[in-house]
Amino acid sequence: MRTNYPPIKKRWKVKTENLRLHFLLSPGAISVYISGMKRLILYTVLISLLSPVFAIGQTLPDEFSRAQSAFARAQRLMREKDYPAASDAYRELVRGFKNSQYRDIYQYGLARSLYHLGDFKQSEKTLISYSSLYPNSYLLPYAHHLLANCQYRRGRLESSFRNYILAYKESSDKQLRRLSKRSLFASIEAGYFPTDSVLHLIPGDIACQIKARVAFLMKGYWGEQSIDSFMAGCSKDLYQKQDIPKATKGKLSVGVMVPLSGPYSKYGQMILDGAMLAAEELKSQYIAIEILAYDTKADNVTAARQAFVLSEAMVDLIIGPLLSNVAATTAAALSGKTTPLLVPAATQAGFTDLSRNSFQLSANMQTIGRGMAQYAVKNRGMTTLAVISPTSIDELTMAESFVREVKRLGARVLAFERFRPGETDFGPYIRDIKEAVMGSVDDSTFFVTLKGDTLRPGEVAVEFDGVFIPATEQQLFLILPQFDFYRVNASYLGTDEWNSPKVLKLGEKVIKDVVFYSSKGAVVNSIGYEEFATAYDSKYGIQPDRLAALGYDGIMLLAQAQREGKRGPGDVAEFLRALSGYEATSGRITFGYTRSNLEVPLFSYEDGKIKPLIERIIIEAEDDSQPPDTVGTEYFKYEY
């Protein structure tokens, strides 16, 4: 039964902020993009809803008064960016007022709050039946647009394209139509080419414009005959007038190329969010930066094509891609170009050799292995070391680099044990290490303690300087107690996975003396982290992680280049090549001759706490471009 509320003259007014999800190359749209990349915020003016009285002498029904109060609370929570509480408040409205004539508003509000939370799946689920439930809702075009945003984020590109078309066709709001149109073009720029069945759905006033853009982007793959056939019924002038937009004069321009759809989208979004925050902060310093964001979809060809477009647009800097294999393809595509490529998170070695203007913001796996070896031999004076490593590509690369460097420095590698991922019994490998220390002994051999007790060889404690274990969190949780059980006394050397509550929970009795590399620790211990974290939380409602800090640092490096009088891609690349000891939010940065970050931040575990070492480890530049001995598949691990 429908509740009979007093009549309302002005039920719903919507004012849209200039925002969109998809990303335009057009410089004119960048200010729009910077002002709110992630947010499709609809400012609602419910004059009659929020008024306590509708007409003289009328009193509000109790149910309506409760709905009014609950809705006002939900709106307030959205303004305060308390999205978890806002989604709960909207969910209560949807469930508690099922017969309300304003239920379409509540359901749309729920979808918005879920979108801000990053729960694109639930936001899409909330909107998927919106058109059938509320076919006459004023919000229907906006719901189509928000649904398209969610679907794009989830990699459902054709569905999102169709819903952008619906938003454009059904809206009478000129601003929303512009945003939907731009999102259609941005989808194409990002690599989605609509099929014939989808092309037929595009309204006639923009169909030829979209087809012209598709034809222009495909001109390197299509012949003239194919282009003429595709453009049939459209003016050839539209195609011939297409070009690659140039960066806006007077502004610094940055291309951010990260996956924004598909399985790696949440990682790409973190980098982009950090970059957007930096661009906003720099406005107060009168440094204007326009961001051109592209969805690489973690695809090699897509990223290479986008890098070419950005290079032709003469952007000052490209940040991305995310993965090492995509970064290698992109670096190769930029060979001979002046545009600097700043790769934030990829950690495989060697791809910076493919372009003299490519830079690796994170220490690569070889650098980490060599850095740990140099610390062990040069800083700690260790001369006898062992290594135990899984055969997965990242860990084995670090282990092999460690072994090479230890030998180069004149120390001794007692044993190098490799195990398959998934193994749980490390006893055989540990016994091999003990045998390497003790020497080969017969099974009948036994040892007598000072107390007169007899021990078998496996029960005898052994001692040497250190053991390097570049294993995963789960593997460490199993390995370390077994080292303790087999009575191996050596200092531990480790990598990022040691900085884990699960590992550190084992306690000092098991972990003993340990020093490990940690990119995560470098972030939270950096000079500017607290200020960055406060600003990030204020903007996005969550605490930042390392990927967000890397995106933030990329923009701040460009701003620092400008402060030092470096303008244009060539000058920015020169600035980056000379960078040494730069204190960034993600940690200290020093680029070596191969343009990979040589800083290796080290930490220890003492008194139940992780502490940064006073020693500053900068890896020596020798052999920094040495290719890894191991080849395999890269797995992007990012769980914090």
**479: closest CA among 502, 457, 456, 461?**
502
pLDDT digits (tens, 9 = 90+) for 170-190: 999 999 999 999 889 877 776
Place of tokens 């054709």: 158
Residue 294: pLDDT over 90: no
| 85 Cα distance to chain centroid | 25
| 517 Cα distance to chain centroid | 21
Position 31 scores a pLDDT of 32
For residues 187 and 152, the answer to whether their CB atoms sit within 8 Å is yes
Residue 2: pLDDT over 50: no
Position 109 scores a pLDDT of 94
pLDDT digits (tens, 9 = 90+) for 49-67: 223 333 323 334 566 788 8
For 275-279, 511-515, 560-564, which range has the lowest pLDDT when averaged over its residues?
Answer: 511-515
pLDDT grade, residue 631 (50/70/90)?
A: very low
Tokens of 8: 């309302």
Predicted TM-score (pTM) of the model is 0.65
Tokens of 589: 């940065």
For 405-414, 444-453, 511-520, 538-547, which range has the lowest pLDDT when averaged over its residues?
Answer: 444-453
Q: Cα–Cα distance between 380 and 466 in angstroms, integer?
A: 10
Higher-pLDDT residue of 57 and 151 is: 151
Higher-pLDDT residue of 614 and 437 is: 437
* Residues in a beta bridge with 494: 516
E-strand spans in 482-537? 488-494, 514-517
Residue 622: which region, alpha, beta or left (left: phi > 0; alpha: psi -120 to 50)? beta
pLDDT digits (tens, 9 = 90+) for 364-397: 999 999 999 999 999 999 999 999 999 999 999 9
**407: closest CA among 432, 380, 382?**
382
Residue 623: pLDDT over 60: no
Residue 636: pLDDT over 90: no
CA distances from residue 104 to 12, 115, 147 in whole angstroms, order as listed: 11, 17, 14
DSSP secondary structure code for residue 488 in this structure: E
The residues spanned by each domain of the chain are 13-170
How many other β-carbons are positioned within 10 Å of the β-carbon of residue 393?
Answer: 18
**517: closest CA among 493, 495, 501?**
495
Position 185 scores a pLDDT of 85
pLDDT digits (tens, 9 = 90+) for 502-526: 887 787 677 778 999 999 889 988 9
Can you spell out the DSSP letters for 115-153?
HHHT-HHHHHHHHTTHHHH-TT-TTHHHHHHHHHHHHHH
Position 116 scores a pLDDT of 86
**Which segments of 38-100 does DSSP mark as H helices, in order?**
47-50, 62-79, 83-96
Residue 209: pLDDT over 70: yes
Q: Cα–Cα distance between 373 and 191 in angstroms, integer?
A: 44
For 26-35, 408-417, 425-434, which range has the lowest pLDDT when averaged over its residues?
Answer: 26-35
For residues 93 and 70, the answer to whether their CB atoms sit within 8 Å is yes
Q: How many residues does the chain have?
A: 640
pLDDT grade, residue 531 (50/70/90)?
A: very high
E-strand spans in 174-259? 252-258
pLDDT grade, residue 245 (50/70/90)?
A: low
Can you spell out the DSSP letters for 528-565?
THHHHHHHHHHHHSS---HHHHHHHHHHHHHHHHHHTT
Residue 142: pLDDT over 70: yes
How many other β-carbons are positioned within 10 Å of the β-carbon of residue 581?
Answer: 10
**345: closest CA among 581, 498, 557, 545?**
545
Q: For residue 253, give the amino acid letter.
A: S
Higher-pLDDT residue of 504 and 597 is: 597
pLDDT grade, residue 322 (50/70/90)?
A: very high
Contact residues for 125 (Cβ-Cβ < 8 A; gap 6+): none
Q: For residue 352, give the amino acid letter.
A: T
| Average per-residue pLDDT for the chain | 81
Residue 162: pLDDT over 90: yes
Position 502 scores a pLDDT of 83
Higher-pLDDT residue of 272 and 193 is: 272
Tokens of 237: 């002038």
Residue 237 backbone dihedrals phi, psi, to 5 degrees: -60, -35
| 587 Cα distance to chain centroid | 17
Contact residues for 571 (Cβ-Cβ < 8 A; gap 6+): 561, 565
| 139 Cα distance to chain centroid | 32
CATH 1.20.1290.10 fits 13-170, yes or no: no
CA distances from residue 83 to 109, 148, 536 in whole angstroms, order as listed: 11, 20, 15
Higher-pLDDT residue of 225 and 281 is: 281
* Residues in a beta bridge with 15: 43
Q: Give long-range contacts, CB 8 A cutoff, 24+ apart: 301-304.
A: 301/329, 302/190, 302/191, 303/257, 303/329, 303/330, 303/333, 304/329, 304/330, 304/332, 304/333
pLDDT digits (tens, 9 = 90+) for 64-110: 788 889 999 999 999 988 989 999 999 999 998 888 889 999 999 99
Position 139 scores a pLDDT of 94
Residue 221: pLDDT over 80: no
What value does the mean pLDDT take over residues 542-557?
94
Q: Cα–Cα distance between 157 and 544 in angstroms, integer?
A: 28
pLDDT grade, residue 625 (50/70/90)?
A: very low
Higher-pLDDT residue of 318 and 195 is: 318
**187: closest CA among 221, 147, 233, 156?**
156
pLDDT grade, residue 130 (50/70/90)?
A: very high
Percentage of the residues of the chain whose pLDDT score is greater than 90: 49
pLDDT digits (tens, 9 = 90+) for 298-318: 999 989 988 988 888 889 999
For 232-236, 395-399, 490-494, which range has the lowest pLDDT when averaged over its residues?
Answer: 232-236
Tokens of 251: 């502004």
Q: Cα–Cα distance between 308 and 445 in angstroms, integer?
A: 68
Position 145 scores a pLDDT of 94
Residue 47: pLDDT over 60: no
For residues 97 and 120, the answer to whether their CB atoms sit within 8 Å is no
Position 605 scores a pLDDT of 86
